[in-house]
Each structure stands twice: as C-alpha cells, then as structure tokens.
Copies of this chain bind each other. A is one copy, B any other.
Amino acid sequence: MAAGEPIKFGIIGCASIAQKVSRAIKMSPLSTLYAVGSRSLEKATTFAKDNDFPETTKIYGSYEAVLDDPEVYAVYVPLPTSLHLKWAVLAAQKKKHILLEKPVALSVEDLDVILEACKSNGVQFMDATMWMHHPRTPQMKQFLDDPENFGQLKSMYSTFTFDAPPHFIENDIRVKPDLDALGALGDLGWYCIRAILWAVDYELPNTVIASRNPSINGSGVLLSCGASLYWEDGKVATFVCSFQANMTMDFTATGTNGTLRLDDFVVPVAENKASFVKAAKSWWAKRLLGWMPRTSEHDVSTDLTQEALMVEEFSRLVNSIKTEGSEPDTKWPVYSRKTQLIVDAVKASIDKGFEPIEVVS
C-alpha cells in the first residue's frame, strides 16, 4: 500500500452494528478510531466505553460535531436508513469519505443524490456489505467463472432470515416506517440481491417479480418477502428474506457443469475460517443406482475478519486519494446503486400487487 498514516475514522450513530464495525476499524492496520458522535453525549460516552474505544477517542454529543472535526478523514454511518440522505450528503460536503451502512438509501433517487454529493466532493463511497471483502468471495467467484467446472450460470437461490424476538418485531429500528421503511428487504434482502448480482458480474436482470407472500406489519414495513429475478438469457434467481424464520444465509448457484453452495454467506459461522462447497460434473452411477456429486469443501482462512478487511479496503482507497491524488474508486458506488435498483424493483412489485417490474438502470 501507499505510505500514509492510518485513516482517522469518525462514527456517527451508535447502532448495534457499530459495535462490530468499530472493532474492525481498530483491527484494520490502515485505520484508527478517532471520534464517535451520538445525539446525546452520554450515549456516545457509554458506547465508547462498552466497546473499548481508545482513551484518545473524541466523544461528541452530535453528528455535526464529528463532521466538523477537521481531523476526521472518513466516517462510518450506521444511522437508520431514513437519515442516510441528510447525513451522507452533509458528510460528503464536509469532504469526509463515507462508509455507509446498508441499505444505503430508501430509494435509488435518494442514493443518486448521495452519490452525486460524493462525486462532486471527490470523496470515496462504499457500502458496508462485509462479505464482499472476505477472501472466500474471490475464491467462489473464480469457481463461478470456470467454464470447465461451473459452465454457464443457470439458477441461483439465496436467503437471509432470522427469527427475531418479539421486542425486535415490535420495536426495532428496522421495523419502523420512519426509520427503516424497507424493513427486512433493506436489512436482509440487500445481501441476497448483492450476492445474486455479484455472481452475474452485476448484469442487471430484465424483470423482477416479488413473491406473493410478504409479511407486512401494521405500519406497512416488510417483515418477510422475496422475489425472483429474470435475465434475458434465461438465468433466474430467487431470494427469501425474513425476520420470521430460523437464521439462514444460503447462497446456491447452479451452472451447466457445476454447483456452488454455502450456508453462511453473509456472516461466516466463525471469524477466522469460512468454507464453501463446489460440485462439478455430477452424474449418475451405473443403472441410476446413485450418483456422484464430485463435491469438495473448501476452507478459506483469514487473519482479519471480513469487516476488518472491508475497513482496510476502504482505507486503502481513501489513502490513495489522500496521498497519491487518485480519483475515488467508481466500482463500489455502482455495486450499491445496482443493488438499490433491485431493492426498489422488489418494493415496487409488492406495492403493485406482485406485477413484473422491468428494471431500467
């Protein structure tokens, strides 16, 4: 990497996911945890203490104060989605590079405002989809790209579900229409959609149709839903996301010659090791008496967790802008935007009585 001191991070908001990402900021060698701000100084103080923030961390009683600190070079924004537009735009205007929690926005229109602010202020944008940064991810992609052992991609299935306790279903930020109006679709479906797009090199599907079984709370927020995505060449993907089913994180892709499977794609079961299963050229035994899946399980070890690797990659890009005058990387905003486009299409399909939605980029 290029020379330069570690990127000083500010965190605005004390969501539970910030426990994990603040730890990642501390773990990554290219970043330091410099400041945290909440709407109350007391809350920020408690959060910093509970999460073993460095003694030197600046504690602020407002989000603005973090953005106004000239030492803060990048911000991690784990605020409720409805606040992303305001605070991400303000952060960009203050020239802070932005690592934004997902879902990045309530709609692609909002996201475009955020991305434009980032672009015009020359700051890096990246969403906090952690699994993208696990070393397992490129290894799986290599298999999907193998014409001999995987072949042409035909179908995908992805899930992210967990059985949220009653207090979550009633009171969590993620079920409140004024905070996270996309509910399970934004919180969980985001990952499934990203995985599907990742597998097809971000080629957008033509058509998205929501499944007819969404569960919607009294405020109109999705607690469970799903959709199927269709591509011109016949590829199909189906996903299910839910706050109302046992925890699953499945991703399966089947090609003409091979199959990729894993059941913990969002968060690996263990921090330092993750695995996936490949099968290639599975075929019948003689007289159809059985078959040979030719399956192999691949373990991928990592010293840094996927969230620390995410912070490291983001910090590397920021450092490159800072020390080498590089342009912000444009790949990450594109991934976010395409994911958001599909989130929006699923929502539109549900709102229109499960009509097919044509995806227009």
Hey, which bits of chain A sit against chain B, CB under 8 A? 16-17, 19-20, 23, 151, 154-155, 157, 159, 161-163, 207, 209, 211-213, 215, 224, 226, 228, 230-231, 234-236, 238, 240, 242, 244-248, 250, 252, 254-259, 261, 263-264, 267-271, 279-284, 287-293, 305, 356
Q: Is B155 touching A246 in the complex (CB atoms < 8 A)?
A: no
Give the dominant DSSP class at A's interface.
Answer: strand
Asked if residues A246 and B162 are in contact (CB atoms below 8 Å), the reply is no
Contacts of A242 in B (CB 8 A): 154-155
User: A282: nearest residue on chain B (CB-CB)?
Assistant: B247
**Alpha-carbon separation in the docked complex, A208 to B275 (Å):** 35
Q: How far is the CA of A250 from the CA of B263 in the complex (A)?
A: 13
B247 & A250 in contact (Cβ 8 Å cutoff): no
Query: Could you say which of A16, A244, A305 has the most chain B C-beta atoms within 10 Å of its C-beta?
Result: A244
Contact present for B236 and A246 (CB under 8 Å): no
A226, B234: Cβ atoms under 8 Å? no
Closest to A272 in B: B290
Nearest B residue to A209 via CB reads B212
For residue A65, give the distance in angstroms from its CB to the closest CB of chain B: 26
User: A246's contact among B224, B228, B281, by CB below 8 Å, is which?
Assistant: B281
Residues of B contacting A209 with CB < 8 Å? Answer: 212
* A234 and B224 contacting across the interface, CB-CB below 8 Å: yes
Alpha-carbon gap, A162 to B254, bound state (A): 10
Asked if B264 and A161 sit within 8 Å, CB to CB, the answer is: no
Most buried by B among A20, A215, A254, A293: A254
Chain B positions within 8 Å of A234 at CB level = 213, 215, 224
- Whether the Cβ atoms of A292 and B269 lie closer than 8 Å is yes
Residues of B with C-beta under 8 A to A305: 289
**What would 18 more interface pairs be, CB under 8 Å, given A154-B245, A247-B283?**
A19-B287, A20-B289, A151-B163, A154-B161, A154-B242, A163-B257, A211-B230, A212-B236, A213-B234, A245-B254, A246-B279, A246-B281, A247-B284, A261-B263, A264-B293, A269-B293, A271-B290, A289-B305
- Complex Cα–Cα for A235 and B213 (A): 7
Interface centre among A235, A246, A268, A284 (most CB of B within 10 A): A246
Q: Which residue of chain B has the shortest Cβ distance to A268 in the bound complex? A: B290
Residue of B nearest to A206 (CB): B212
CA distance A21 to B252 in the complex (A): 32
The CA-CA distance from A250 to B155 in the complex, in Å, is 13
- A247 to B258 Cα, complex, angstroms: 8
Q: In the docked arrangement, what's the CA distance between A247 and B289, Å?
A: 14
